[in-house]
Amino acid sequence: MDLRQYVQDIPDFPKPGILFRDISPMLRDPVGWAEVMNRFGALCDLVNPDLIVGIEARGFIVGMALATHKKLGFVPVRKPGKLPGAVHGIDYQLEYGTDRLEIHADALRNQPRVLVVDDLLATGGTASATSNLVTKAGGQLVGCAFVVELAGLNGRERLPVNITVESLIVYS
């Protein structure tokens, strides 16, 4: 099945010159969404994670659905100040400044095998920071999974070379 049929191109969003790849039609379609879960489920069978980590915000949708599909636990990675209690955090560079991501300090006890999930891999800054945060918090990063990858932005190059990286739809 060609999953591109479930992605809507939105020109000039969020600003002029940007072509936004919207997965909302995929989320609305049970057949397309089931295919996403089946393909990511096969990836889980390959890398055998103990936990799914989802990146705020659309990574929560994809990650929680996958965790439920594979009967695994789910851990959110959030923007600063959104998680109660003790957290591990990591600051990272963006094209236009810095940002920060956080995870509960106790979320990755006992060195679980972790698959990081998000809707989109673009420049790789957020995915790279999340990968580093997983390691910093005590997890064993075994892979990253994305619904869409914008390959021309070279985000994959910012991810660890020793893990599996899977993108279901790749735009060059």
Residues with a known catalytic role: 58, 95
- Can you give 6-74 as a three-state secondary structure string? HCEEEECCCCCCCEEEECHHHHHCHHHHHHHHHHHHHHHHHHCCCEEEEECCHHHHHHHHHHHHHCCEE
Q: In this structure, is the dihedral angle defined by the CA atoms of residues 126, 109, 136 and 48, taken in order, positive or negative?
A: negative
Length of the chain: 172
First vs last C-alpha separation in the chain: 19
- What does the block give as tokens for 39? 């393909």
Beta bridge partners of 19: 11
**For residue 34, cis peptide bond before it (omega within 30 degrees of 0):** no
